[in-house]
Amino acid sequence: MNYQQIPPPEALRTFIRYFFILETDDIKDQIYTFRTVADGGPGLLFQPEDRGSYYQNYKQLPGLFLYGQVTTNVETSLKGKFSTIGIVFYPHVLKTIFGIDAGELTDTCMDVDQMARQQGFYLNEMLGECRSSSEKIEILSSYLLFLAKRNNTLTDTKMEYALSRILQSKGNISLKELNDQLCLSERSVERKFKQYVGLSPKMFARICRFQASLDQIRNNKYSKLSDIAYENEYADQSHLIRAFKEFAGVSPKQAMSIMENIAGLTIQDSTVASSSFLYV
């Protein structure tokens, strides 16, 4: 299995964290299982249906789908052969590019091809005719640039400020002080933030803190688990373990084991497939 991350074009760098390619050279179809991880952002996946299909809770997902914020771990499988192009977006993109109330897509997904057809883009056919991953990325980038230009007035400056402050603090921030800085009530901030990001500020901050902890494990920047708990302001090690089980479905030690035994993947990055999933 081969995994590669690709930076977005300059014009999309405020919207896209990275593209990724996940492929297999297997001759026979197989069933691959991986666990999605709450990572604080939405994303998009394209998997040609003649190569294989994604399933979640025994339900087949569209060949091209957009997913929203994830608040818990979910086991997903692919039946066939991986030939996936993915996009990992920044948290605000459902609102600022797609014009969607982000809360409507939390813990679920939608068929992008159906939406794109209404705008004159026949993405499934266009992507299916591509001979290379770079051509697919170019087509997806063109579509996203079209949407970005069309929806360029949807940025909410106050929610963008709140988002940046939570990200900069890695989730360790006083939300009461943030509300005061925004000159908005707690209820107003929560309502607007859910529309803009898809989560409450509190839940988003918790996921940011979990991701900072996961990043320490991924990059081996710790001596013991209690160091990770302390540095990310968890009350104690047991709170860190509970966060991992909630957002990744595994304990920190199990996450370490997965990362240590990932040698079967060819990864052109220091991540384990991505901050968005663990291959199991």
| Helix (H) and strand (E) counts in the chain | 11, 12
- The per-residue pLDDT of the chain, averaged, comes to 90
Tell me: pLDDT of 275 over 60.
no
Q: Classify each residue of 100-114 as buried b or exposed e, where b means 16 or more C-beta atoms within 10 Å of its C-beta.
A: bebbebbeebbebbe
Task: Look at 219 and 45; give whichever has higher pLDDT.
Answer: 45
Is-contact 244 76, C-beta < 8 A?
no
Distance CA 50, CA 81 (A): 9
pLDDT band at 261 (very low <50, low <70, confident <90, very high): low
Distance CA 146, CA 161 (A): 25
* Residue 150: CA count within 13 A, CB half-sphere: 11
How long, in residues, is the chain? Answer: 280
3-state class (DSSP) for residue 2: strand
pTM: 0.90
**Beta strands 59-60 and 2-6, pairing class:** unpaired
